[in-house]
A = this chain, B = another copy of it.
Amino acid sequence: MIKVYTSTVLDSPAHVVWSIVRDFNALPKWTPFVADSRIEQNLPSDRIGCVRNFRTNDGGIIREQLLALSDYDFQCVYSILESPMGVENYIATLKLTPVTDGDKTFAEWSAEFDPPPGREQELADHVGQAVFQAAFTHLKQRLR
């Protein structure tokens, strides 16, 4: 198993950032790499257990299941059911914490997963940089 951890500071209050990222179906709105997304079986996107089925810009299909959602401490946890990455036991957590000094947001995105043998570093870099950090950078621009 490997662990990936990416964190940043966003120039908006935590409740504003949460209003954007809370929607499990909203990846096309705040990340640069998702072309379209739907929740399977037409479930509401804040129902625990729902599955988002989205297509990345390069045509890959990813299915992820919502395991936890908290309006109390602004976090969600989800697993990957299916993806082109070939990872197993993938669990990710996205969490927001208020920065009281300046009314900003500390955002953390972490994941644990089992990569295919020999692809540990490649996939750690991909998830941490090309996915999590790229999404944070895109979100920063949107929040301006």
Contact = CB atoms under 8 A, between A and B. Distances in A.
Interface of A: 1-3, 5-9, 44, 46-49, 67-73, 77, 91, 97-102, 104, 106, 108, 128, 133, 136
Nearest to A93: B72
A83 to B, nearest CB: 18
A97 B106 CA distance: 10
Contacts of A49: 46, 71
Contact of A1 (B1, B5, B98, B108): B1
Contact of A101 (B48, B68, B91, B136): B136
26 contacts: A5-B98, A7-B98, A7-B101, A7-B106, A8-B99, A8-B100, A8-B101, A9-B99, A9-B106, A46-B47, A46-B49, A48-B48, A49-B71, A67-B71, A67-B72, A68-B68, A68-B70, A68-B71, A68-B72, A68-B73, A70-B77, A72-B77, A100-B128, A100-B133, A101-B136, A106-B106
Nearest to A67: B72
| Closest 4 pairs (CB-CB, A-B) | A68-B70, A8-B101, A67-B72, A46-B48
A66 to B, nearest CB: 9
Contact of A100 (B3, B5, B101): B5
A136 B99 CA distance: 12
